[in-house]
Each structure stands twice: as structure tokens, then as C-alpha cells.
Structure 1
Amino acid sequence: MDGRLVAGGSACARPGTGQAPPGVDAIPQRAIGATGRYDGQAIFGPVQPKDALMADAKFDSDSLPGVVSTAASDLSSLRPSLVENALTEALPLPDIMFGGAVLVAVIMFHAFWIRIITSSYLKRSKSLKSRASLWRADLLFIVTIMMLLALHLAEVVVWSAALMFGDIVENWSAAAYFAANCYTALGEPFSLPREWRIVPPIIGMSGIFAFAWTASVLVNFVSRYNDLREVMIGHREAAPES
């Protein structure tokens, strides 16, 4: 092997001589053959035949079908479990069903009482148009606002009861505090168990729905309240002239 690398390829022997190339102190004596030429086999050992290398890499071909079938069965059993675990982690059904049912109940509760409050306000505002007392209009508006506030507090109580009867929170005080914070979208004051982690966002959704509904109704109330005051002021100004 003339000119082959010595010591990891750092230098090469000069062909046909046993002399070390420049920069190398000496070539080991066992690397110099009887002919005085560089012999790489003296350092690295004899080169194995190609057939011997292939024989070492052979494996039992009869075992290949069994390995393939085992791997396929493992993959087939693994895929459903992976999908099931992913769906369970992303969409846990127990808390979604629980929270969704309570959300629907809260919205229906809100719809029932908002209809009663609206009809009562419209009926009383019409009866006050023939009178010139502004304080009655102010009192009607204040009472209506207090009824809307009581409605939202009642919905917080509904969520508190759901948390208590569902064994999610330990006591009524903690349940009311937790439900009020989530209902008003302030955030979780403390963390629920992992299996109920979707309930707080659902409580927040119910609060957003309810407050949006109340806001739309309140806009109508304010508009009718201003109209009612204008009518009463007109009656009051026309009374001295008559």
C-alpha cells in the first residue's frame, strides 16, 4: 500500500522508501515490511474478505414475516389509543357535557326573567306617560336596573349550586366566589381538578351571553326612559299654561 495514511491520515510515507515524510518523527518499525516498503496491514491488521463481512451482516430471513406481523399488530392497536387519548385530552366529554347542560339552563333562566322584566318595564312606562312626576320615571328605571342585577346574581347562584352538587368545589363560599369570577370573565381565582378544567371557560361563556343580552335590552330601556322623561317634562311645562 504505497502512500497510505499513517496515524489517522495525518501524514503519508514516501512511496518506495521507509522514510517518514516531513513533519513526522518516524514510522513504526512494524509498518516496514521485509522489502523496505510501507505495510499498512502491519498496523491495521489483515483486510477481511468481502464474503466474510456479508456473512456477519446476514440474519435469519425466516423470522422476517413474524417481525413484520408483530409490528403491524402493534401499530394497529396503537393508533386507536392515540386518537382516543388525543380526543380525551383536547375535548374531555364529562366536563363539556356538565358545563354545557348548566349553560343552557342558565340561558333559559335568563330568557325567562328578562322577558318578565322587559314586559313589566314597558307596561309601567306607558302608564306613566300621562303623569308629570319625573321621580316616578327615575324610580322605575332604578328598580329595573336592580332587577337586572339580581338576575345576574341569581345566575351566579345557579352556577354555584352546580359546582357544589357536582362535587367540584368544597363549600358554598368558594363555589360562589369561583362562579362569580368566571361568570364576569375575571378569571379563575383557583384551579379546579384536571377533569373539570373546561368548566371555567364555559361559565365565562354563559356570562358573556347573559351580559350581551342584558346590554341589548338595557339600550332599549335607556331609550324609552329618555322618551318618557321628555313626555313628562312636556306635560309639566304645559300644565301652568292650561
Structure 2
Amino acid sequence: MDPKDIINAPALIIGCTAMLICLAVQGSTIVWVMTVFKGRVRSLVSQQRTGLAHLFFFAAILALLVSHIFQIYIWSLFLYYPGIMDSMPSAGLLAGSTYTTVGFADDTLPMRWQLLEVIMAVTGLFAFAWSTSIMYGLSQQLYRSED
């Protein structure tokens, strides 16, 4: 096995480009969620409208979920359009399986492109950690009166 088959410029360029686009999407979603939801949740809790505050909290979680699904779609495009994978549904399944690090897809990429799977998984780890920190911050607003 030639190391050039594992760490190669095309895989590195495609992977880093997709990762940067995904993290830009994640960052934009985070800014939007914090701008729209954090103050609203805080305000509703101070007005003792906790039911509505919880609803906004769950809406924020839904927005974060949509961001992750969109990032999986972005990865699918990066697998399908360069011809790395033959079909968009297969690309989506592999992207979802790898991005979430669940690994349920049996289909793996050819050796030359497997670096993409590593970068995809790292992207998902970063993005999910970022989402988790935002959910924690929002829950601090939601339950701040209980301190």
C-alpha cells in the first residue's frame, strides 16, 4: 500500500473545503440561534412563561438539527459531484453514517478517498460539540431561576 493512496492532495483539498463550508454553516447557525433564541428564552423565563421558553429551547434544538442535516447534504454533494460515489442516495447514506460517526453504512470509499471519511467524521465531531455547547448555554438560561 502506497501512502499516496491514503494521504493525497485531491482528497485533502476536497475534504478541507467541505469541512470549512460545513463549519461556516454551523457557525452561521450558532450565531442565528444565539441571536434569536438566547435572549428570548431568558426573557420568557424572567416573565415566568416557562412553557413558552421550553418551546423556544426546542425550536433552537430543531434549528441545530437542520444545520447538521444540511451539512450531511453538503458532504453528499462533495462525494457525488466529483464522481467519488455513483449515486446521491449512496453518498447521502455514507455521509450521514460517517458525519455522525455511527458508521452504519457498509459502503466505504476506495482507498484513495478514505481520508474524506476521516475528515467528515472530524467535521461532525466538531459540529456536534459546538451544538452541545449551545444547547448547554441555552439550558442555563432556561433553568437559571433554579440556581
Cα deviation for residue 134 of structure 1 reads 2.4
Inter-CA distance 211–123: structure 2 relative to 1 (3 Å threshold): same
Runs of 4+ in 1 over 3 A off after TM superposition: none
* 2:72 and 2:95 in contact (8 A); partners too: yes
Cα deviation digits, residues 171-224 of structure 1 (max 9, x gap): 221111100000011235312123212111110010011011111111111111
**d(CA) in 2 for partners of 1:215, 1:184:** 14
**d(CA) in 1 for partners of 2:43, 2:6:** 55
**Counterpart position of 2:102:** 186
**Counterpart position of 1:110:** 26
Gaps of at least 5 residues in structure 2 are: none
1:54-69 aligned within 5 A: none
Q: Select which of 197, 204, 216 maps to 2:133.
A: 216
Whether 1:94 and 2:5 are equivalent positions in the alignment is no
Cα deviation for residue 125 of structure 1 reads 2.0
**d(CA) in 1 for partners of 2:24, 2:32:** 13
- Which one-letter code corresponds to 1:176 in the other structure? G
* 2:85 and 2:91 in contact (8 A); partners too: yes
Query: Over the residues paired in the alignment, what is the CA RMSD in angstroms?
Result: 2.0
**Counterpart position of 2:75:** 159
- Which one-letter code corresponds to 1:203 in the other structure? M
Inter-CA distance 90–200: structure 2 relative to 1 (3 Å threshold): closer
1:172-183 aligned within 5 A: 172-183=88-99
**d(CA) in 2 for partners of 1:175, 1:154:** 14
**d(CA) in 2 for partners of 1:119, 1:147:** 13
Larger Rg: 1
Cα deviation for residue 142 of structure 1 reads 1.2
**Counterpart position of 1:134:** 50
**Counterpart position of 1:198:** 115
1:1-150 aligned within 5 A: 88-150=4-66
- Which one-letter code corresponds to 1:137 in the other structure? A
Paired-residue identity, %: 24
**d(CA) in 1 for partners of 2:38, 2:143:** 13
Cα deviation digits, residues 76-107 of structure 1 (max 9, x gap): xxxxxxxxx95524522211111111111111
Highest relative contact order (Cα 8 Å, sep 6+), 1 or 2? 2
**d(CA) in 1 for partners of 2:51, 2:130:** 27
* 1:121 and 1:144 in contact (8 A); partners too: yes
Gaps of at least 5 residues in structure 1 are: 1-84, 231-242
**TM-score normalised per structure 1:** 0.56
Q: Which moved further from structure 2: 88-97 or 107-116?
A: 88-97
Higher percent of residues as helix = 2
| Equivalent residues, number | 146
Cα deviation for residue 131 of structure 1 reads 2.8
Cα deviation for residue 149 of structure 1 reads 0.9
